[in-house]
């Protein structure tokens, strides 16, 4: 009953097998390996973007920070939701890697920016001439930090406001696969067809050991991204092992199968909880993460039964749980949790 995060699960068999295969013999370092060439082709096909820039890093924080640094200038603001991972959970890395771009926070219920809130925030930024930060990229997270999912038209509505002001757009896709299976969209529809310029394509949370791809749709950004990655200490010398993880992850649709499973386990849990007295979901459950609140004493009972998850203070004075399912969550784990409840 490890529901604290999707990173509490191990790596999936497809990824482990690919890493084991990659361990045979020798390969060029720093991304010049053959597996990387295949992964680049695979991701370009997947995104229907034959020219896209594709590079790998080991953490989502590095993927987001390096992508945003490539899209911004140090004197700009990066617009994101108030509770975005880049704002709350990356220790200032986007500001650090961008040489000081400032995160400008946008309001919105259930982890989602609304186009009007984004527009208002953009409109009030960069109006003080040389004295204030200038307008810079917009960063959108899907699946959001509240476990909700933007449909592709909602992403397009946000990027349209950004475009109007000439601003580029980034997608934090740490849970990209979960968002894709939740919406039924293709990778292209979720990104460049909806106005996204760069995406952090997550692998770790959905079955990899430690790998995320950065995909940038403007090939002119390639060299700059490579220099930033090296300078930032995120060019991995034995890149073949990052590439192997990504290859195993993508092969035969493993990534979508695992995300569909994680989402289905969350749906099973949410359905089970919906039948229990006093349970309230703080946000709609749309992918593999939920934030239920429940009556006094329940946390203690669940923890005593072996459930592991984070608690968050809620506005109601109670504590909400954060429950995250993963590729390896079994239906029996969910049923045990519900029985312990
Ligand atoms: C929305 C989101 N973005 C990015 C990340 C990646 O973070 P890390 O640097 O821990 O791999 C996470 C992980 O919690 C996340 O939830």
As a whole number of angstroms, the distance between CA 159 and CA 253 comes to 28
Which contiguous run of DSSP H or E holds residue 174?
Answer: none
Ligand 1, atom nearest to 205 Cα: 13
Ligand 1 binding pocket includes 172 (Cβ within 6 Å): yes
User: What single string gives the DSSP state of each residue in 3-66?
Assistant: -S-GGGS---HHHHHHHHHHTSS---STT-SHHHHHHHHHHHHHTT-TT-EEEEES-HHHHHHH
Q: Which residues contact 299 (CB under 8 A, 6 or more apart)?
A: 311, 319, 321
| pLDDT at 211 (0 to 100) | 98
Helices (H), the chain: 13-22, 34-46, 60-71, 85-88, 93-97, 115-123, 152-164, 176-183, 187-190, 222-231, 239-250, 254-274, 298-304, 331-340
Which letter, b or e, does each residue of 296-305 get, where b requires 16 or more Cβ atoms within 10 Å of its Cβ? eebbeebeee
Give the pLDDT of residue 300. Answer: 95
Q: Cβ distance 203 to 178 under 8 Å?
A: no
Does the C-beta of 324 come closer than 6 Å to ligand 1? Answer: no
Ligand 1 centroid to Cα of residue 60, in Å, is: 5
Tracing tokens 């060439």 back to the chain, one arrives at 37
Best residue among 5, 57, 59, 61 to mutate for probing ligand 1's pocket (most ligand atoms within 8 Å of CB) is: 61
- Across-strand partners of 199? 171, 215
The answer, yes or no, to whether any atom of ligand 1 lies below 6 A from the CB of 61, is yes
Give yes or no for a contact between 170 and 199, defined as CB atoms under 8 angstroms apart: yes
pLDDT of the residue at 104: 98
Only one residue has tokens 């001439």, namely 129
CB-ligand 1 contact for 148 (6 Å cutoff): no
Along the 341 residues of the chain, how does pLDDT read in single tens digits? 999 999 999 999 999 999 999 999 999 999 999 999 999 999 999 999 999 999 999 999 999 999 999 999 999 999 999 999 999 999 999 999 999 999 999 999 999 999 999 999 999 999 989 999 999 999 999 999 999 999 999 999 999 999 999 999 999 999 999 999 999 999 999 999 999 999 999 999 999 999 999 999 999 999 999 999 999 999 999 999 999 999 999 999 999 999 999 999 999 999 999 989 999 999 999 999 999 999 889 999 999 999 999 998 887 788 999 999 999 999 999 999 999 99
- Return the ligand 1 atom nearest residue 172 CA: 3
Probe target for ligand 1 pocket from 56, 60, 97, 262, with the most ligand atoms within 8 Å of CB = 60
Q: Is the CB of 173 under 6 A from ligand 1?
A: no
CA of 298 to the centre of ligand 1 (A): 28
Q: Is 182 in a helix, a strand, or coil?
A: helix
CA distance 321 to 135: 36
Other beta carbons within 10 angstroms of residue 146's beta carbon come to 22
Q: What is the pLDDT at residue 61?
A: 98
Nearest CA to ligand 1 atom 6: 60
Specify the DSSP class assigned to residue 308: B
Q: Go through the domains of the chain in sequence order and give each one's CATH number.
A: 12-253 (3.40.640.10), 254-340 (3.90.1150.10)
141 ligand 1 Cβ < 6 A:
yes
**DSSP code at position 211:** -
Residue 174 CA to ligand 1 centre (angstroms): 6
CA 139 to chain centre: 11
For 218-234, b/e burial (b = at least 16 CB within 10 A) is beebbeebbebbeebeb
Tell how strand 76-81 and strand 102-106 pair up. Answer: parallel
Q: How far apart are the C-alpha atoms of 173 and 67, rounded to whole Å?
A: 12
| 13 phi, psi to nearest 5 deg | -60, -35
Say yes or no: CB of residue 145 within 6 Å of ligand 1. Answer: yes
Contact 286, 147 (CB under 8 A): yes
Q: What is the pLDDT of residue 268?
A: 98
Q: Residue 307, class by beta-carbon neighbours within 10 Å (0-12 exposed, 13-18 middle, 19+ buried)? A: buried
3-state secondary structure of 135: strand
| CA 212 – ligand 1 centroid, Å | 10
- Report the distance separating Cα 7 and Cα 2, nearest Å: 10
């Amino acid at each position: 009953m490890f529901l604290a995060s999707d990173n509490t699960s191990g790596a999936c068999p497809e990824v482990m097998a690919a890493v084991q295969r990659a361990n045979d013999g020798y390969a060029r370092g720093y991304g010049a390996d053959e597996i990387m060439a295949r992964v680049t082709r695979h991701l370009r096909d997947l995104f229907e973007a034959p020219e896209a820039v594709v590079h790998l890093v080991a953490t989502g924080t590095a993927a987001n920070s390096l992508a945003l640094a490539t899209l911004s200038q140090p004197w700009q603001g990066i617009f994101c939701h108030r509770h975005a991972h880049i704002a709350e959970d990356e220790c200032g890395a986007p500001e650090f890697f961008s040489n000081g771009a400032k995160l400008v926070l946008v309001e919105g219920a259930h982890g989602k920016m609304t186009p009007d809130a984004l527009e208002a925030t953009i409109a009030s930024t960069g109006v003080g001439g040389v004295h204030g930060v200038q307008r810079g990229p917009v960063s959108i997270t899907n699946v959001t930090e509240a476990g909700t999912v933007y449909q592709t038209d909602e992403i397009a509505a946000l990027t349209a406001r950004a475009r109007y002001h000439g601003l580029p757009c980034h997608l934090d896709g740490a849970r990209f696969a979960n968002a894709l299976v939740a919406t039924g969209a293709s990778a292209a529809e979720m990104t460049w067809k909806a106005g996204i310029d760069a995406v952090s394509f997550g692998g770790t949370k959905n079955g990899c050991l430690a790998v995320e791809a950065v995909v940038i749709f403007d090939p002119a950004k390639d060299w700059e991204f490579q220099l930033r990655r090296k300078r930032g200490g995120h060019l991995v010398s034995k890149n073949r092992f990052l590439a192997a993880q990504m290859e195993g992850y993508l092969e035969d649709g493993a990534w979508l199968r695992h995300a569909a499973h994680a989402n289905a386990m969350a749906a099973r849990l949410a359905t089970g909880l919906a039948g229990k007295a006093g349970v309230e979901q703080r946000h709609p459950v749309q992918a593999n993460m939920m934030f239920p609140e429940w009556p006094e004493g329940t946390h203690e009972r669940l923890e005593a039964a072996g459930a592991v998850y984070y608690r968050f203070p809620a506005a109601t004075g109670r504590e909400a749980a954060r429950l995250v399912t993963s590729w390896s969550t079994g239906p029996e784990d969910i049923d045990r949790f519900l029985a312990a409840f």
